[in-house]
Structure 1
Amino acid sequence: MPFQRPEEIGYGYVIERYVTRKDSDFPRYRELNSRRFLQPGWLHAERFARHVIDDAATITDAELEALLSYEWRARLTAAWLIGVGRREAFRERIGSLLLDSEVCFSGKGYCFALARFGTHADAEILCAYLDRYLPRSDLVYDQHRALGALLRLDTQLGTHHADRFTGPGGLWDRWDRWGQALDLNSTCTEQRLWTDLQCEFADGWSRP
Structure 2
Amino acid sequence: MLMPNDDVEVLAAVRRYVVPERRYMKLHGWNIRHMDDRRRDEFGKSLTEAAVQASDKELIPLLNSDWRARLVAAWLVSMGGREEYRNLIKRLLLEGEGNNELKGFCFAVTSFGTRADAEILSVYLSESLSASKSLTAQDWALGGLLHLDERLATSYATPFIGNDGSWKKRAGVEVGPDVKNLMDFLSVFCEAYKVKSTDRRPGSSDDLLDAHSSWRPCRLPESWQVLTSEAVRKKLDSEVGELLDGCGLSQTEPLSVAACENCQSILFNTRPGVGDWGIADLSGCSGSRVEIRQSYAGIWECCAQHNCL
36-45 or 71-80, which deviates more = 36-45
Give yes or no for contact 2:18–2:68 (8 Å, CA) kept in 1: yes
From the superposition, tell whether residues 144 and 206 of structure 1 become closer, same or farther in structure 2 (CA, over 3 Å): closer
Give yes or no for contact 1:36–1:42 (8 Å, CA) kept in 2: no
The match for 1:21 is: 20
CA distance in 2 between partners of 1:173 and 1:33 (Å): 24
Tell me by how many angstroms 1:7 deviates. Answer: 6.5
CA distance in 2 between partners of 1:12 and 1:204 (Å): 30
The match for 2:77 is: 82
Give yes or no for contact 1:6–1:14 (8 Å, CA) kept in 2: no
- Aligned residues with identical type, % of pairs: 34
Looking at CA atoms only, which structure, 1 or 2, has the larger radius of gyration?
2
RMSD: 2.2
Output the TM-score relative to the length of structure 1: 0.85
Tell me by how many angstroms 1:11 deviates. Answer: 4.7
From the superposition, tell whether residues 60 and 170 of structure 1 become closer, same or farther in structure 2 (CA, over 3 Å): same
The match for 2:68 is: 73
| Structure holding more strand per residue | 2
In the alignment, is residue 158 of structure 1 matched against residue 142 of structure 2? no
Alignment gaps of 5+ in structure 2: 197-309
CA distance in 2 between partners of 1:34 and 1:200 (Å): 15
Output the TM-score relative to the length of structure 2: 0.59
- Given candidates 180, 194, 199, the residue that maps to 1:192 is 180
Tell me by how many angstroms 1:13 deviates. Answer: 1.2
| Structure holding more helix per residue | 1
| Aligned partner of residue 73 in structure 1, secondary structure | helix
The match for 1:143 is: 138
121-130 or 42-51, which deviates more = 42-51
From the superposition, tell whether residues 150 and 138 of structure 1 become closer, same or farther in structure 2 (CA, over 3 Å): closer
118-127 or 132-141, which deviates more = 132-141
Counterpart residue identity of residue 125, structure 1: I
Alignment gaps of 5+ in structure 1: 181-185
Give yes or no for contact 2:96–2:102 (8 Å, CA) kept in 1: yes
- 1:52-99 CA deviation, whole Å, 9 max, x = no partner? 011112211121111011000000000011111111111111111111
